[in-house]
Amino acid sequence: MDTIVQALIMGVVQGLTEFLPVSSSGHLIVVPFLLGWDDAFITSLAFSVMLHIGTLVALLIYFRDDWLRLIPAGLAAIRDRSLRDDPDRKLAWLLVAATIPAALVGALFSDIFETQVRQIGLVALTLVVGGVILWIADHVGARTKGMADVSFPVALGIGAAQAIALVPGISRSGISISAGRLAGLEREAAARFAFLMATPITGGAILFEARKLVTGEAGVTVDAGPLIAGLLASFVSGIIAIRVMLGYLRTRSLDVFVIYRFVLAAVVLIVWLGR
C-alpha cells in the first residue's frame, strides 16, 4: 500500500482516538500490526508524535475562545500575584498544575516509554486495564460537579493520571476523564478539562520529538509527503472527534468505549498469538 494512503489512515486514526477514550498511542501501534505495515517511518514513534500536531491544532481551534481568556488571565494572576476569585485565573493555573506530573514523568523516563512499552502484547493488556478503570470511574458514586469545582489537589491528581497514559493503550483522554469522574465531575466537565490540559503536554511532546527528528536522534528519515497527509487527516478527524465526544457525553455513558476496548484487545491477542 502506498505510504501516503497509510499516512492518511494513521492520521484519521490519530485524530479520532486522541479524543475518544480508547488510546491513540495504542491504536498507532495496533493498526500497522493488524494491517501488516512495516514502513519504518509510518510505524515510528516519531511519526506518531508528529501526528499530534494535527490534533494539537484541532484543540487550539476548537477551544480558541477558552485559551484567549485563559492565557491573559493566567498572566494577570502572575502580575497581581493573586487569583482574585477569577474563575479564568484559577482554571489557567489549574491546567498548569495538571501538566506538571506528565511533564516530569515524560522527561525523566522518556527512554523507557520509547523502547520498553511499545510491545503489541502489552498494548492488548493495557487496553483492558484502561477499559476496567473507565467503567469503574463512570459508574461508581455521584458525578455532578462542574469545572468550577476543580481544586488544585484534584488537578494534580488528574495530571498524575495523565502521566500514566504515557503507556500505550491506557489513553490520555480516557484516564484523565476517569480521574475527573472519580473526583466527582460530570462527564462533559471531565472531558472538557481533560481536553484543555492535553494542549500544553501535547505541545511539549511535539517539541521534544521534533528536536530528535532534527538532530537525527529519532533514527528515521522524515518523508514530507506522508507527514503532511497524516497531519491534515489528524486535524480534520480531530475536530470532528472533539465535537462528537463532548456532545455524546452530555447524555450517554462511556460503556460503548469500554466494550470497544475489550473487543479490540481480544482481536489483537488472537492475531498476535496466531502469528
Q: What is the pLDDT of residue 258?
A: 96
Residues 6+ apart with CB under 8 A from 200: 95, 96, 99
Q: What is the pLDDT of residue 62?
A: 95
d(C-alpha 96, C-alpha 77), whole Å: 13
Low-confidence ranges of the chain (pLDDT < 70): 1, 110-111, 113-115, 141-142, 215-220
250: its cell numbers = 452530555
**pLDDT per residue as tens digits for the range 65-112:** 999 999 999 999 999 999 988 999 999 999 999 999 988 887 777 667
Q: What is the pLDDT of residue 166?
A: 86
Q: What is the pLDDT of residue 211?
A: 74
Cα–Cα distances (Å) from 2 to 94, 139, 174, 229, 249, in that order, read: 44, 44, 32, 12, 37
Give me the sign of the Cα torsion angle 89, 240, 235, 101: positive
28: its cell numbers = 498507532
Instruction: Cell 480508547: give the residue.
Output: 22
Q: What is the pLDDT of residue 174?
A: 94
Backbone angles phi, psi at 145, to 5 degrees: -80, 155
d(C-alpha 110, C-alpha 217), whole Å: 13
Angle 231-232-238 from CA coordinates, rounded to 5°: 85
Q: Given phi > 0 = left and psi -120 to 50 = alpha, else beta, which region is 2?
A: beta
This prediction has a pTM of: 0.89
